[in-house]
Amino acid sequence: MQSFSAIIISLAFFSIANSLAARLLEPRRLGSSDDFIKTSCEVTRYPDLCYQSLSAYDSTIQDDPTQLANAALNVTLQSAESTSNMVLNMSKAHNLRPKGAGPIRDCVENMKDSVDELQQSLVAMKDLEGPDFEIKMSNIQTWVSAALTDEDTCMDGFEGNAMNGKVKDTIRSYIERVAQLTSNALALINKLVN
């Protein structure tokens, strides 16, 4: 009787081991999703940044262009919000002369607008079903383009400004990254429309 139990246990163990081995030899689903993201990012101006910022979401994105565009917008919004807060905090932390305070104040306003436009885009992305798909996508493209313009306007405000170089360079580098993410999100949205 004991040998019969040992045989059953051995068969169960062998079956589990075979099942695990078969799974390990199967192509991984994540790999195809990862390839999808990498290939999709080739249409963007900053493909390395695109892939780096979106690859962590491969299990959500899978092979879905809508989920890819949605993830790109989410990443962009998070970056825009944190950058907007950083610029606001820097404006409070540094004792800026009026010449330096003006561009930062304008930048804070531009970044608030950018965040609002990206939020509107995300809300619209959640409801793309129905006959007015093209109108909704057109609105999303307009809002993301406007967000990119706001970010560029923010950076332009620091051109030739007499503000502390380190503060100016720090702000510009953060805004530039947000603008690159926004540009990538717009490219992925445009691809979704086409």
* Domain edges within the chain: 28-193
pLDDT at 129: 85
Nearest to 188 by CA among 49, 79, 29, 82: 49
The label of the residue with tokens 């589990």 reads 16
Nearest to 56 by CA among 71, 39, 40, 41: 71
Q: Is the backbone of residue 159 left (phi > 0), alpha (psi -120 to 50) or beta?
A: beta
pLDDT at 137: 94
Average pLDDT value for residue range 170-192: 95
Pull the structure tokens for residue 37: 């993201």
pLDDT tens string 24-82: 333 334 457 789 999 999 999 999 999 999 999 999 999 999 999 999 999 999 999 99
Pull the structure tokens for residue 43: 């249409």
CATH of 28-193, one of 3.40.50.2030, 3.30.230.20, 1.20.140.40, 3.40.50.620: 1.20.140.40
pLDDT tens string 156-171: 887 766 566 777 788 8
Mean of pLDDT over the chain: 82
Nearest to 159 by CA among 108, 107, 91, 109: 107
- Report d(CA 29, CA 62) in Å as an integer: 8
pLDDT at 161: 61
pLDDT at 178: 97
pLDDT at 98: 57
pLDDT at 89: 84
Average pLDDT value for residue range 173-178: 94
Specify the pTM: 0.80
The label of the residue with tokens 């002369």 reads 97
Q: How confident is the model at residue 125 (pLDDT cuts 50, 70, 90)?
A: very high
Q: Which amino acid does the sequence have at 108? A: V
Contact 150, 120 (CB under 8 A): no
Q: How confident is the model at residue 9 (pLDDT cuts 50, 70, 90)?
A: very low
- Report d(CA 20, CA 102) in Å as an integer: 63
